[in-house]
Amino acid sequence: MNNRLYGNLIFELSKEGRKGYSLPKNNFGAYEIPASMKRAEEAQLPECDELTVVRHYTNLSNNNFGVDTGFYPLGSCTMKYNPKINEEMAAQPQFQNLHPQQPADTTKGALALVTLLEKSLCELTGLAHFTFKPYAGAHGELTGLMTIDNYHRSRGDKARKKVIVPDSAHGTNPASAAVCGLEIIEVKSLANGQVDLADLERLVELEGSSISAMMMTNPNTLGLFETRIPEIAKLIHECGGLMYYDGANLNPMLGACRPGDMGFDVMHINLHKTFSTPHGGGGPGAGPVGVREGLQEFFPVVSPYFGNFGVMMRAYAYILSLGREHVKEVGPLAVLNANYIKESLKDVYELPIDTVCCHEFVFDGLKDKSTGVTTMDVAKRLLDYGYHAPTIYFPLLFHESLMIEPTENESKETLDGFIAVMRQIAEEAKTNPDEVKSAPHTTPIGRVDDVLAAKHPVVTYRQLKAEA
Amino acid sequence: MLNVQCSMNFKFFPHTQDDLQAMMAKAGVKDLDGLYAQIPESIRFRGDYKLPSEMSEMEVRDVFAKLGSQNKQLTCFAGYGVYDHYTPSVIPQLLNRSEFLTSYTPYQAEISQGTLHYIFEYQSMMTELTGMDISNASMYDGTTAAAEGMMMAVAAGKKQNKVLVSAGMNPKTREVLDTYALHQGIELVTIPMKDGVTSKENLEALLAEGSVAGVMVQQPNVYGIVEDFTGFAEACHEQKALFIMDSVASDLAVLKTPGEWGADIAVGDGQSLGIPMLFGGPYVGYMCCTEKLIRKMPGRIVGMTKDNRDQRAFVLTLQAREQHIRRQKATSNICSNQSLMALFVTVYCSLMGKQGVKEAAELSYAGAHYLCDELKKTGKFQLVYDKPFFNEFFVKYDGDVDALYQRFIDAGFLGGVKFEDGLLFAVTEKRTKEEIDNLVKIAAL
């Protein structure tokens, strides 16, 4: 990583008169854009030659960490390997140049792919239909809740505006419900991390006719399977609500369980998690929504066409590569990897719920709290050793949450290396806590001043120049 | 039944038999099935998935090649929000840098400067194009960016929940707006058109009725017409409504900007900045606003700061606005952006630069006007509205438009988009004079 050498903004590399493009000559004759249409000042975009641009972004990439760089134990994000064949398939020119308004008889191959992927996802989830319009997981949640809301509206059941969510839910769940115009009621968790059935019964009794849906992920955000899911689904269905499955944690279920069989009516899938499409630094992902037979007519129009079609191509290539033989091994191996790490570290990190976990688990910081070393410090110290940090301070049930998800692609050697470093950090916390608290030391930049950024926002080059 | 034997010999699974035995011993289970002992048997999936058998890379390629061959490759004269612009060869190569491609959201700033740095550049470029103060880190696409703009106006407007939308908006965008509005309880009211442009008289009358949080228009509008929005922003602001403009990003290289028209929020799709059409996505939505509204902006924002070594650094900032903090108080549930596609347009704007984006826009303008003139010369086409247009225009055909459209396809052309009994043609810098002349020959038959 060579941040110092190549730390400039592309604007700072610009020099008037340079160009990095070539376009054909204008041979259409004199067609001048009328002045009345035109902007007064040119957009101040950079002027650079091609090599400068290539070198700039190549060097920026060196200041990044990806799954291809190293182990990414990021809980709830399923940072699995992104197979290269997926990229090759998505780049095929026979698909790249398709305009979404082309008549159906000129896009038969693309439409066939949509159908094939839909069939595969139905088979893997036990649901009947999927819409591919949602662009991301959160967009899928919103789409799923809108589907449910449309269903209740169609029946004239207009009072159903409340969504039950476990207090351990992903932060997006309540936000999606709010954007859908629904209200959240939280159901408590038991000490073992599972939904408190007694509390749920109380809520259903109290709110029965106003309950739109219950929204859950299973395994839950602690990586624990909600064993009483059949009873939960029965309670909700009996009061007239629908069951929504947040597919963020679908990966460990491949080969073990299907949301449709667990009693869920509506779900979204993060293709960028379970189906290996790259996260791209925060998108594009895809959040297709699946439903039980009969609910498909309530799908809302949340985007114009087939969502992120390129992401769907990658997911289908992945399913073909795995085939029915290997897709069912994804879950068990992901779960094995998670349990192996958990068991190897629970003597030095606090494990609040000591049981077999699914694809991920949560430590509540270091076991020895006397050192003053926090979860944040452990996370930052991991960067020094060449690992991405786990998810930290989520779920909110614990103060020092450290959530680890290894995925099925990681080898025993990789896990052993990570375990050794995690133990070493625990040791350093006792012998040299300052070293841990001031980490990272080997990254291109050190810990950043978040407060300065928020107090005095500088978010464009124009503002940056005005500052100087 | 899951047995140990099956978990072997697959390129994405590194577990050997010895590894499995050692790891299961550590995990305290006898076999892999033991890892799921807590799941009630009644809901276990014990069957075989009805999926194809595993495929080698060569077989996967074959499947995709066969699917691809069923798509007809057409020379594109269609727009309607999605345009066939030129992609510099540098871009896909840089986007495939796996440090960009396979990274997560840049929460760990120390090892994500690459992503944070380009998002800062992206924000700077989008504010340059739109003439606005602030940009977020990008949105899913233009239609959802418009929906977020609508919700942002309502959130900023406190008790006003009406949004006026020009009939000149693309129906595809309008459909998405309608969806979000229904569930949010936002009242959408259409501002009618007059001679192909948004009627200012109607706008003023609707504003006077009160409780309007925002007014949304599209530039160029769905007919390709470049509208004159003089006085629109003032009319909105008089009634405390925000003025929202939805524009095609590449056109802003030359067109009067949302900033110049007095917009409070600028949204749109960045697809026209070289992103392949790929049957509808992924694209990238942009959203910009005035400095005053920064804390109402949905989505991620990257800001400049310093690290503890006194170096310039970039970081996700103003996160108190975002869904994971606000939870049920959130006014947007966006929790990602379209990062890799933001990188796409950032590299595009870096390569094309100040001159290139203008030149591409000028070529598109010239090509579209040449095509329009040539079509008119056949005597079979006329502009539905005789108004200034940019690179897209709406014509009526004196004849059977369905038959004509099919003739285009048979000759290898996507001859515009059929819409309101007319044809909407778009031309970009990719279309050559020869292609246009050939299209016109078929049109003249």
Which one of A304, A317, A356 has the shortest CB-CB distance to B176? A304
Tell me the average pLDDT across B62-80.
98
CB B360 within 8 A of CB B86: yes
B97 touches chain A (CB under 8 A): yes
Instruction: Average the pLDDT over B122-135 and give the result.
Output: 98
In which band, very low, low, confident or very high, does the pLDDT at B1 lie, cut at 50, 70 and 90? very low
Answer whether B94 sits within 8 Å of A261, measured CB to CB: no
In this prediction, what percent of chain A has a pLDDT beyond 90? Answer: 93
Average pLDDT over residues A147-158: 97
- State if pTM tops 0.90: yes
Using alpha carbons, list the distances in angstroms from residue A116 to A109, A130, A399, B416.
10, 11, 45, 29
Residues of B in contact with A337 (CB under 8 A): 23
* Burial bucket for residue A102 (CB in 10 Å: 0-12, 13-18, 19+): buried
- Residue A29: the pLDDT is 87
Q: How far is B380 from chain A (nearest CA, A)?
A: 21
Q: How far is B205 from chain A (nearest CA, A)?
A: 27
Smallest Cβ–Cβ distance between A106 and the set B26, B71, B88 belongs to: B71
Beta bridge partners of B393: B425
Report residue B21: phi and psi, to 5°: -60, -45
Chain B residues with CB-CB distance to A109 below 8 A:
66-71
Average pLDDT over residues A196-221: 95
pLDDT of residue B268: 98
Radius of gyration of chain B (CA): 26
The label of the residue with tokens 């826009």 reads B361
| Predicted confidence (pLDDT) at residue B330 exceeds the cutoff of 80 | no
Which two structure tokens, joined as six digits, stand for B388? 């200034």
Cβ separation of B71 and A356 shorter than 8 Å? Answer: no
Q: Is the ipTM of this complex over 0.95?
A: yes
> Within a 10 A sphere around the Cβ of A222, how many other Cβ atoms?
26
| pLDDT tens profile A366-402 | 999 999 999 999 999 999 999 999 999 988 889 999 9
Determine the Cα–Cα distance for residues B98 and A337; give it in Å rounded to an integer: 24
Instruction: Judge whether B126 and B250 are in contact, CB under 8 Å.
Output: no
Instruction: Give the strands of the sheet with B381-383, arranged side by side.
Output: B381-383, B392-397, B422-426, B417-419
- Best of A448, A449, A456 to disrupt the B interface (most B CBs within 10 Å) is A448
Q: How many CB atoms lie within 10 A of CB B58?
A: 8
**Digit-coded pLDDT (tens) for B145-200:** 999 999 999 999 878 899 999 999 999 999 999 999 999 999 999 999 999 999 99
Query: Does residue A193 carry a pLDDT above 80?
Result: yes
> Is residue B319 scored above 90 in pLDDT?
no
Beta bridge partners of B164: B189, B215
Instruction: Name the residue among B231, B315, B309 with its Cα closest to residue A454.
Output: B315
Q: Count the residues in chain A.
A: 468
d(CA A203, CA A211): 9
- Contact (CB<8Å) A446/B307: yes
Q: Could B226 and A37 be called an inter-chain contact, meaning their C-beta atoms sit closer than 8 Å?
A: yes
The pLDDT score that the predictor gives to residue B4 is 46
Q: Which of B35, B154, B187 to mutate to test the interface with A (most CBs of A within 10 A)?
A: B35
Q: What is the mean pLDDT of chain B?
A: 95
- Is B158 an interface residue toward A (CB < 8 Å)? no
**pLDDT above 50 for A354:** yes
Cβ B220 vs Cβ B251: under 8 Å:
yes
Label residue A286 by pLDDT band (50, 70, 90). Answer: very high
Q: Using CA atoms, how far apart are residues A10 and A461, in angstroms rounded to an integer? A: 10
Task: Give the per-residue pLDDT at B336.
Answer: 82
B68 in Cβ contact with A243 (< 8 Å): no
For residue A47, what pLDDT band results from cuts at 50, 70 and 90? very high
pLDDT value at position B326?
66
If you count them, how many residues does chain B have? 445
Q: Is A123–B49 a contact, with Cβ atoms under 8 angstroms apart?
A: yes
pLDDT, tens digit, 9 for 90 and up, residues A433-463: 999 999 999 999 999 999 999 999 999 999 9
pLDDT reading at B258 higher than 70: yes
Cα angle A356-A357-A361, degrees, rounded to a multiple of 5: 130
pLDDT recorded at residue B331: 74
Structure tokens at A228: 């009483």
Beta pairing class for A211-216 and A183-187: unpaired
Q: In the predicted model, is pLDDT for residue B8 greater than 80? A: no
Measured at the alpha carbon of residue B16, what is the angle toward residues B15 and B18, in degrees to the nearest 5?
120
Average pLDDT, chain A: 95
Q: In the predicted model, what is the mean pLDDT of residues B388-395?
A: 98
Asked if B256 has any chain A CB less than 8 Å from its own CB, the reply is yes
A190 DSSP 8-state letter: P
How many contacts, defined by CB atoms under 8 Å, are there between A and B? 655
CB-closest option in A176, A263, A282 to B333: A176
CA dist., res. B285 & res. B283, Å (int): 7
- Quote the minimal CA–CA distance from B216 to chain A in Å: 18
A24–B429: do the CB atoms touch at under 8 Å?
Answer: yes
Instruction: Name B13's bridge partners.
Output: B10
What secondary structure letter does DSSP report for B197?
A: E
The pLDDT value recorded for residue B374 is: 98
Distance of alpha carbon A173 from alpha carbon A262, whole angstroms? 20
| Residue A215 CB neighbour total at 10 angstroms | 27
For residue A321, give the nearest of A64, A87, A4 by alpha carbon: A87
| pLDDT classification of A288: cutoffs 50, 70, 90 | very high
d(CA A460, CA A465): 9
